[in-house]
Amino acid sequence: MSVGDQGKEALESEITHLRQRLAVLEEKKGSERPERFYEALINNAPDGVVLLGPNFRISYVSPAAERLFGYTVEELMQMSPDDLTHPDDLAGVHQVLRGLIAEGIQDSRMISYRFQRKDKEWRWIESTFTNLMSDEDIRGVVINFRDITDRVEATDALKDSESFYRVLTDALDIALCRWLPDTTLTYSNEKYRRLFNVQPEDVEKKWLDLLPPETREETAAFYGALSEDPKVVSFEHPVTLEDGAVAEYRWIDTPLFDDDGILVEFQSVGIDITEIIRAKEALQVSEERFRAIFENATVGLYRSTPDGRVIMANPTLVRMLGYLSFEELSQRDLNQSGFSSEGSRSVFLQRIESEGQISGLESAWIMQDGATLFVRESVKAIRDESGKTLYYEGSVEDISERVQIEERLRENEERYRSIYERVEDVIYETDGAGTIIGVSPSIERQSGYRPEELIGRNVVDFYTDPDEYAALNAAMEAEGSVNDFQLKLKRKSGELIIASVTAHVVFDENGTPVKTEGVMRDVTGRRQAAETLQESERQLSTLMANLPGMAYRCLNDHEWTMEFISSGCYELTGYQAVELIENSKKAFAELIHPEDRDDVWEKVQAAVATQAPFELEYRIITENGDQKDVWENGVGVFGDGELLFLEGFITDITDRKQAQDKNRQYISRLDTLRKIDQAIVNSFDLKVTLSILLDYLVSDLGVDAAAVLKFDENAGVLAFVKGQGFRTTALQETRLRLGHGHAGKAALERTSVFIPDLSQYDHNISDSLEFKSEEFISYYGVPLIAKGVLVGVLEVFNRSALNPSTEWEKYLQISAGQAAIAIDNIALFETLERSNMKLLQAYDATISGWANALELRDMETEGHSRRVVELTVELAKKMGISGSKLIHVRRGALLHDIGKMGVPDHILQKPGKLTADEWQVMKSHPLLAHTWFSSIDYLRPALDIPYCHHGKWDGTGYPRGLRGEDIPLAARVFAIVDVWDALLSDRPYRKAWSREKTLKYIQEQSGAHFDPQVATVFLQYLEEKKDAL
């Protein structure tokens, strides 16, 4: 329904009402006219009526309009509605009027707008415009209006209030919503909508539907029960934010009831308690941290009572006072034994009780061991509400070291005062006008004035050059200080001196200069020395320009940034000095060979660290790419303990280095040849000797492989003996005839053969595919000649092209000579060894012949010598005799009775008992054996048995009566074997003994006739071999 329809309906309703009342009145008062009735109604109605004529001028005004507008009826009749309407509302009013007139029917329009009363007050009216132009009685537009200012203001206030509270709730940092028991949202604020991604248009939706499906059933059950039993509930529940973070919220759900106590809806308030939880956690961490701080603080922390009891202390204080535990410290009475001075505690108590807090109190405490501890403490008295002191809390800092330092400072002040009075330099002070206010006693030595003669005088009295004085003042004013400012001063005697002044201006707290402090030194001699030094430097510069090397000064950085380089730089490096200074074209570090840079840096830094000079040898790359060896001698230059720069000299030592390398190579090769000589002398194994020789040869000559072929004179071929560096075994079957192949050619022509490129020759060393895999390029063969006789060929192979130098070829020839000597020596040794073997065989045959000859003389002992030999050798092994000694044992056993060759037959072969004289002759046979063979070197080591085998362990044997271990071990071994075999054999004067009787005899004679240890071993051996012996 339009506004006009609403106005028309209202007007018709009011007219109908009036007519109904009129009809009632007419019934009651039939004599009164209706017009008066209408007039009375209009005049007393609260709403105003205005009639606009066809020209839209006011043609009628009701009394209520007069009250509303404040104008009289007459005034209003002269006015137009536009005169009363607010300018901003005219367009709306005109639009309503035009609309009504344009439609041309009886219709109404309602509009609210502002009007101005006569007293200039703007008020709101609600007007209903009714088009009655077609009514013959009226012919105009009737305006019914009422003052709605209070209603508009109330409505605006309500809107403002609603907007205010809506903005307020949206601005709150809490989530707020209201919802019906079925979870339909009736209101939500901005915070709630952001949390749950709820849009304003989602009002009247069920928030339960906004939850994840998996939580809906449980949540619905909870709130269903809450709707049945409404009450305030509070719980904590996390909320996942848009960025994925989780916030902790405390939710408070409150039921809201109407006046009849019926549940209407719920209000939910969500408070973000994430920070509270974090704060609790932080508080817990903070408590732990502060506990850790208390426990680990570097200062002592304590709590004590006014009566001197320590009720709390951290470990630092416990340790500080020298106690092992707090319990031990808590037994201490601070009032009685806490301070080193009796009055200190009472002073402390007076101050803390009166002031309540003390900061920086310094005192001396007594430690557990009685030592004094100087401390600075800050204390606060903790009191109850009544002001009574409960305890003191404080911190304690050990300042013993500072007290000691202050004591040393006092001593130093006295010392420095002494130095001040005796220092050679003059220390002075002047005021702002240049008047001397203080000067050290050393002024008398430098100027001839006593200090008291100068106090109060102006320094200008002593300057000889006004320009120098002016320059000094200008520098002081500009910089506030001067350093080593040199000027001429006048001594008391009139003599001029050159002084160096270092001074600075002293300012007060306002920045005003108040005085000048300075040091003056007589540098007259130094100036003269400087002039001499300048001349010396000029001469040095001339000298450096002609030195075969480069002088430098550089920074100690990784680029070795050059500040100065002498002219010798170009000859050494190929760069001009200006190209290297300040790294303008090249940093000197770039010239150092990359492999040497780290080593140069480390050695220089090591020298700088100890302020020692350094000497280096390294390689540089010159401008044209050549490599040079250089020697550098340098030193770090220091000032006030700080490294300022490095300076030194670098010279080319390439020629010397190459000479040294050649010398080292020469010495190395000599040492190699010496080692090869030793191998030749010490080894008779040709392959071992050649292996050593080839190892050194391949290494020293820098080749890949080498081999020795030995000439077999009988077969007329060169055969492979030893090789080194080969990948395959292709050459190990080599058998070359003279003249065949490169080695055969070298052997036949007895001259070296050098093949730079093996691929250029049709006949190669080997046609086998295996040899081709060696991939050799160059070959060198040298014939091996010893004493004019061909003994073999030395071959050298390389897998890259060889370009041998003269020195290389000489060394190869020498090595070939060594190989020839080795082959020849081994051949000679083998020949000699064969001769020796033949000679040994001859010796052994001779010895066997002697033993056989002896047995032929004494038939009774036939076979005895052969039997005892093997048994003696076996027992000797058991007793630890080995090696060549066993050979001598064997020979001694064969010849044990060789001395009997000198005993006459009638005694040797006598069947009966020998007389005493005959027995003496028989007992001489060991002496005869010693006499015969002691002069024969070959048989002397075998004499122990022939000479001593009749000795006895107890010393009763012959011929020398030796006892125990003085008898040679071989003789002791043989003695028991000799008796064993003799007793088991038949003799003319008795029958052979049984084995058991013989064993028993040997056991009985152990320790008498026989060595007990040998007897034990022998008997064990017999037991092991009882089936064979």
Tell me, letter by letter, the H, E, C secondary structure of 67-125. Answer: HHHCCCHHHHHCCCHHHHECHHHHHHHHHHHHHHHHHCCCCEEEEEEEEECCCCCEEEE
Per-residue pLDDT tens for 231-270?
A: 999 988 888 887 888 888 998 999 999 888 899 899 999 9
pLDDT at residue 10, as a whole number: 45
Q: Which CATH architecture has domain 423-527?
A: 2-Layer Sandwich (3.30)
Closest Cα partner for 300 from 403, 398, 399? 398
All CATH 1.10.3210.10 domain ranges of the chain, comma separated, are 858-1024
**Is pLDDT above 50 for 4?**
no
Report how far residue 537's alpha carbon sits from residue 736's, in angstroms, rounded to the nearest whole number. Answer: 77
Helix axes 654-682, 686-701, angle to 10 degrees: 170
What are 212's two structure tokens? 């994840």
pLDDT at residue 779, as a whole number: 92
| Domain 858-1024: assigned CATH number | 1.10.3210.10
Q: Assign domain 672-825 to its CATH superfamily.
A: GAF domain (3.30.450.40)
pLDDT at residue 701, as a whole number: 84
Helix axes 3-28, 90-103, angle to 10 degrees: 70
Q: Assign domain 547-652 to its CATH superfamily.
A: PAS domain (3.30.450.20)
244 φ, ψ to 5°?
Answer: 95, -15
Q: Round the average pLDDT of the chain to a whole number and report it.
A: 82
Average pLDDT for residues 213-234, to the nearest whole number? 88
All CATH 3.30.450.20 domain ranges of the chain, comma separated, are 3-148, 172-278, 297-404, 423-527, 547-652
Per-residue pLDDT tens for 574-603?
A: 999 899 999 989 999 999 999 999 999 999
Report how far residue 975's alpha carbon sits from residue 1010's, in angstroms, rounded to the nearest whole number. Answer: 7
All CATH 3.30.450.40 domain ranges of the chain, comma separated, are 672-825
Per-residue pLDDT tens for 809-830?
A: 888 888 888 888 878 777 776 6
Q: Three-state DSSP class for 645?
A: strand
Is the previous residue joined to 959 through a cis bond, with omega within 30 degrees of 0?
Answer: yes
Q: Which residue has the higher pLDDT, 543 or 117?
A: 117
**Is pLDDT above 60 for 13?**
no
pLDDT band at 858 (very low <50, low <70, confident <90, very high): low
pLDDT at residue 30, as a whole number: 47
Q: Class of 3-148 per CATH?
A: alpha beta
Pick the CATH number of 297-404 from 3.40.50.12780, 3.90.76.10, 3.30.450.20, 3.90.420.10: 3.30.450.20
**Is pLDDT above 80 for 663?**
no
Beta bridge partners of 899: none
Q: Measured in Å, how far apart are the chain's first and last C-alpha atoms?
A: 152
Over pLDDT 90: what percentage of the chain?
Answer: 22
Q: pTM to 2 decimals?
A: 0.32
pLDDT at residue 5, as a whole number: 47
| Domain 172-278: assigned CATH number | 3.30.450.20
